Amino acid sequence: MFKIDALGKACPLPVIEAHKALKDHDAVEITVDNEIATENLKNLSEQMNCAYTMTKESETHYTVTLVKEGADAVVEEAPAVSGSDYVVVLNAPVMGLGDDTLGKNLLKTFIYTLTEQDVLPKQIICYNGGVSLVTEDSESLEDLKNLEAQGVEVYACGACLNYYGLTEKVAVGSITNMFRIIEMMRTANRIVKP
């Protein structure tokens, strides 16, 4: 059985590591330090048709086992369905409303998690405060470069960059205009906005 020590790793890292491991192994044991991670792993087991067991060792130590159904089972990649293209729209340097520190961390995790998806977005469009994500000071710069290297088109609104004085700091993607942004959003099969 393949074992993963995910103690101290924040969501969604335990799920991502388990998902990767299940591509190569029939059974995976994951050690996590919180109950929310066990629930997220349970959801993964349902999505991947795996048997799920969980043992609570203490308040900060849980062991989850995921076993593929059938001895020779193979975990399949997510099927490419017609119209699976999607566009991610980022219009702020934070995700959601409330505490900005939490929102910044959530957005950083969201962008990293995009890199781990079986189906990547066709495009990422940044406008208003979201344009700061494509600059040299962005904490998500490496993840956005990774996505771009995998064929994801990254765009930032030129008027927004000018407004925030960030045009000279762009380090990933292309500068575009509102006409093109509307075109990309209008023709997208789906738009994902965190």
51-70 pLDDT tens trace: 999 999 898 999 999 999 87
* 165 backbone φψ class: left, alpha, beta (φ>0; ψ -120 to 50): left
> Quick one: pLDDT at residue 40?
86
Rounded distance, CA 105 to CA 93, Å?
10
| pTM of the model as a whole | 0.71
Q: What is the mean pLDDT of the chain?
A: 90
Work out the number of other CB atoms within 10 angstroms of the CB of residue 185: 14
List, for the chain, all residue ranges whose pLDDT scores fall below the cut of 50. 71-82
Strands (E), the chain: 2-5, 27-32, 50-58, 61-68, 87-90, 123-126, 153-157, 174-176, 191-192
Residue type, 104: K
Pair 50, 1: CB distance under 8 Å:
no
Task: State percent of the chain over pLDDT 90.
Answer: 75
> Quick one: pLDDT at residue 73?
40
> Quick one: pLDDT at residue 74?
41
CA 26, distance to chain mean position in Å, is 24
Please report the domains of the chain, with CATH numbers, ordered by start residue: 2-68 (3.30.110.40), 87-192 (3.40.1260.10)
* Cβ burial 65-78 (10 Å sphere, 16+ → b, else e): bbbbeeeeeeeeee
> Quick one: pLDDT at residue 132?
97
Pair 31, 7: CB distance under 8 Å:
yes
